[in-house]
Amino acid sequence: MISLLPNIVFVSIFLFAIFWFSKNVKKIYRNINLGISIDRNDNKKLRTIQMLKIAFGQSKMIDKPIVGLLHIVVYVGFLVINIELLEIIVDGALGTHRVFAPFLGSFYNFLIGFFEIFALLVIVSVIVFWIRRNVINIKRFLSSEMKGWPKNDGNIILYVELILMFLFLTMNGADLWIQNNAPEFNYINAGSFPVSQYLFPIFDTFSSNTVFFIERTAWWLHIIGILCFLNYLYYSKHLHIILAFPNTYFSNLNAKGKFSNLKSVTNEVKMILDPSANPYANTSNEEIPKFGASDVFDLNKFQLLNAYTCTECGRCTSECPANLTGKKLSPRKIMMDTRDRLEDVGKIIDNNDGKFISDDKELLNDYITKEELWACTSCNACTEACPIGIDPLSIIMDMRRYLVMEKSDAPSELNNMMSNIENNGAPWPFNQMDKLNWKNEI
């Protein structure tokens, strides 16, 4: 029974981590489903290609070559090194050592060597990212919305990745030393260790039992660290590691910046243009939907998915002409505020037996100000700049639509223009009969 204790402890920790992760995934799924349903199941082939190209292939990252390459290194390293996680899980559950080695033969040596090289590359990339965030002081990392938790979150992830990679190399280096110098532990000779082999001089100063303790400690801390990282994703912007795939698959395939028509308004216009139409023919007791959006309930599901997927990289804000000219608008903040509001709504639901009870707050005004919304030029630079297809413009336009159509609350210049269009058929304050007066001045 004593020999089975580590296996029991491992399986218990693993199952608890998966349970907690699943619980948080359900919360995210529930919160996203608070939004309005829209159909994004068309063009499955095109959507799949787009997902593979942007989310998996990182195609939009390489427009900034150096940063893009470093990100790809970390991304690929995350994927390939976690392949070994499968072996660690099996070893932890069964009490075996490098269980896949006998089945993979020499290919196993290639894999371990490949993993180690990528671990070293990830360490170098993470150090560069840390310097960019904390030493070089790049402008897009210094915005007001990046103070406090967002800044700390970015650094925490970098520290965790560094620790995990060092633990991985320490575990492998100690394992190799035991294979060569401590046969009493019955470690099979397997693996190629092009990086961790250089730790040998350190391990030569210790006894066999000490090296075995170091190897086991690194092994346990590595797997526990990965499981903690998995559950940390829910609280972090790095949730995009998972959500980037559905986000790119369900992204809008229409022309960028194309605005949707409201069915209720379209029907009204048709009534006006058709004198024979009966305005009472299709009346019903159905509640007329709100024009635009004032809270997260008024946004569609994929806008809410966008909010959860935002990486907070700031590429959108760095390309925004309004932000560059000193306006208050930051497209990144729009997405962060939407996610914060959605999280606050989710907490209210959690605390009230699955029901939402109004907290007298809304996304509009309490999180996002009118000044931010009206600063937008609708140029769509933010959506074009996003490496994973997030669309801040759609949220901005839906909230502006609410201000205009529900609250008649628009800047005076815009109200004057709309009044002129209504009265004069043009944006200018001149009578239609005077349109051709310019001829008399020639």
Q: How far apart are CA 171 and CA 164, in angstroms?
A: 10
CA-based end-to-end distance of the chain: 104
Which residues, at least 6 apart from 214, have a Cβ–Cβ distance to it below 8 Å?
170, 174, 203, 206
SS3 content of the chain, % helix, strand, coil (to 5): 65, 0, 30
Burial class (CB in 10 A: 0-12, 13-18, 19+), 145: middle
Of 236, 224, 170, nearest to 198 by C-alpha is 170
**Mean pLDDT, 10 residues at a time, over the chain (442 residues)?**
79 95 95 92 90 88 82 83 85 90 90 91 93 86 87 92 94 93 89 90 91 94 94 91 92 79 76 72 63 93 95 92 93 96 95 91 95 93 92 94 88 83 80 73 68
Residues 308 and 239 sit within 8 Å (Cβ to Cβ): yes
What pLDDT score was predicted for residue 362?
95
What pLDDT score was predicted for residue 140?
84
pTM for this structure? 0.87
Neighbours of 249 (CB within 10 A): 19
Of 264, 325, 314, 254, nearest to 289 by C-alpha is 264
What pLDDT score was predicted for residue 1?
44
What pLDDT score was predicted for residue 285?
58
Of 202, 192, 161, nearest to 78 by C-alpha is 161
Mutual angle of helices 5-32 and 301-309, in 10-degree steps: 130
What pLDDT score was predicted for residue 261?
79
- Taken in order 403, 407, 409, 414, the sign of the CA dihedral is positive
For 326, the token pair is 């000193």
What pLDDT score was predicted for residue 307?
95
H-only helix segments in 187-289: 200-203, 208-232, 240-249, 263-273
What does the DSSP 8-state code read for residue 52?
A: I
